[in-house]
């Protein structure tokens, strides 16, 4: 009887030990992860403090400006060279691009980039610096007009806060050289008359071509001008090198709208 009792107690202990051991391992791993996170947080805080202090010191003798790319796969800032030249006129150094969060979670020295850019914006004014960035974008588009048919994170900088239409840049460049026909009746409402344009992008020749139009013009009088609108849009697509899209441009926009007044 004692033998069976001893055996029973022995297996009970094994069972209890087997149940508690995984739990202890789990708690141990949790403590290790917590310590690792805390050490990493402290290290980052030390690095960020060091970088921010260096930015404050450097800003006393020079001004730098950086562009933050959206992590993890943000678009490159295309007009880097144009912005560099514009900044140089105002004695501001172009620092370049960096990718990561505002808290430096992805890139070393990111706190330096953030603070240095912020200090430059405080000195010259945020609105003034945004204006320089927009100027560089417009200069780049003038040299490489086909990029208006490419989706890019930084083109949003050209939009007003209340107007994030993907077609705004295309409309601006179309209307720049567009003349309304004599007798055209202006709409009383904004964006009431417009034309949807569908394009085809040939991946072999890197050329854009118009496939079809879909017109939204309720004014019967203005419908007589539809052939004129189509001709102007076709000429627009054929001009400014839109027919030769650079082969490095991906996600080409093949649908847009032209809005008339």
pLDDT averaged over consecutive 10-residue blocks of the chain (261 residues)? 50 51 70 68 79 91 92 83 97 90 59 94 95 94 88 80 71 92 93 94 87 95 97 92 74 91 93
CB 47 within 8 A of CB 104: yes
Question: CA–CA distance from 47 to each of 42, 50, 64 (Å)?
Answer: 9, 5, 20
163, 205: one domain: yes
**Same domain for 166 and 243?**
yes
User: Which pLDDT score is estimated for 19?
Assistant: 52
Is pTM beyond 0.75? Reply is no
Same domain for 247 and 176?
yes
Indicate whether 207 and 161 sit together in one domain. Answer: yes
Claim to verify: residue 163 and residue 84 sit in the same structural domain: no
Q: Does residue 196 fall inside a structural domain?
A: yes
* Domain stop point among 143, 163, 192: 143
Is the Cβ–Cβ distance between 114 and 104 less than 8 Å? yes
Question: Does 118 reside within a domain?
Answer: yes
Residue 233 lies in domain: 155-260
Same domain, 136 and 173: no
Q: Establish if 25 belongs to a structural domain.
A: no
Clarify whether residues 135 and 187 are in a common domain: no
pLDDT value at residue 106: 46
Are both 113 and 172 inside the same structural domain?
no
Partners of 64 in beta bridges: 93
Assigned token pair, 157: 């900088």
Give Cβ neighbours of residue 134 (< 8 Å, ≥ 6 apart).
Answer: 157, 158
Same domain, 181 and 125: no
- Whether 111 is in a domain gets the answer yes
Q: Is residue 250 part of a domain?
A: yes
Q: Would you say 255 and 196 are in contact if contact means Cβ atoms under 8 Å apart?
A: yes
For residue 98, give every residue at least 6 positions away whose Cβ sits within 8 Å of its Cβ, in sequence order, or none: 66, 67, 68, 69, 107, 109, 110, 113
Q: Would you give the distance in Å from CA 25 to the centre of its chain?
A: 44
**Is position 129 within any domain?**
yes
195 and 225 together in one domain: yes
Please, what is the Cα angle at 68 between 136 and 123, to 5 degrees? 70
Contact in structure between 175 and 260 (CB atoms under 8 Å) = no
Distance of CA 193 to the CA centre of its chain: 30
From 143, 175, 209, give the residue that closes a domain: 143
Same domain, 137 and 111: yes
135 and 165 within one domain: no
Residue 149 lies in a domain: no
- What pLDDT score does 107 carry? 61
Out of 104, 120, 143, a domain closes at 143
- Contacts for 104 with CB less than 8 Å, ≥ 6 apart: 44, 47, 48, 51, 110, 111, 114
The confidence score (pLDDT) of residue 20 equals: 53
Number of domains in the chain: 2
């Amino acid at each position: 009887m004692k033998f069976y009792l001893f055996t029973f107690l022995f297996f009970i202990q094994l069972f209890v030990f087997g149940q508690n051991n995984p739990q202890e391992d789990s708690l141990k791993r949790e403590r290790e992860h917590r310590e690792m996170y805390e050490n990493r947080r402290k290290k980052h805080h030390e690095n960020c403090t060091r970088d921010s202090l260096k930015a404050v010191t450097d800003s006393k003798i020079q001004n730098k400006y950086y562009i933050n790319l959206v992590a993890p796969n943000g678009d490159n800032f295309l007009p880097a060279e144009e912005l560099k030249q514009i900044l140089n006129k105002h004695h501001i150094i172009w620092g370049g691009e960096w990718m990561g969060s505002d808290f430096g979670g992805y890139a070393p020295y990111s706190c330096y980039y953030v603070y240095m850019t912020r200090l430059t914006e405080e000195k010259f004014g945020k609105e003034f610096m945004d204006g320089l960035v927009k100027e560089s974008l417009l200069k780049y588009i003038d040299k490489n007009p086909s990029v208006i048919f490419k989706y890019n994170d930084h083109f949003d900088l050209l939009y007003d806060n209340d107007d994030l239409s993907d077609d705004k840049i295309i409309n601006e460049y179309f209307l720049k050289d567009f003349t309304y026909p004599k007798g055209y009746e202006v709409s009383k409402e904004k964006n009431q008359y417009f034309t949807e344009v569908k394009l085809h992008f040939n991946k072999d020749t890197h050329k854009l071509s118009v496939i079809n139009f879909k017109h939204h013009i309720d004014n019967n009088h203005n419908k007589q001008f539809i052939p004129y609108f189509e001709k102007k849009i076709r000429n627009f697509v054929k001009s400014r090198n839109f027919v030769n899209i650079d082969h490095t441009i991906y996600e080409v926009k093949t649908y847009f709208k032209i809005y008339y007044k």
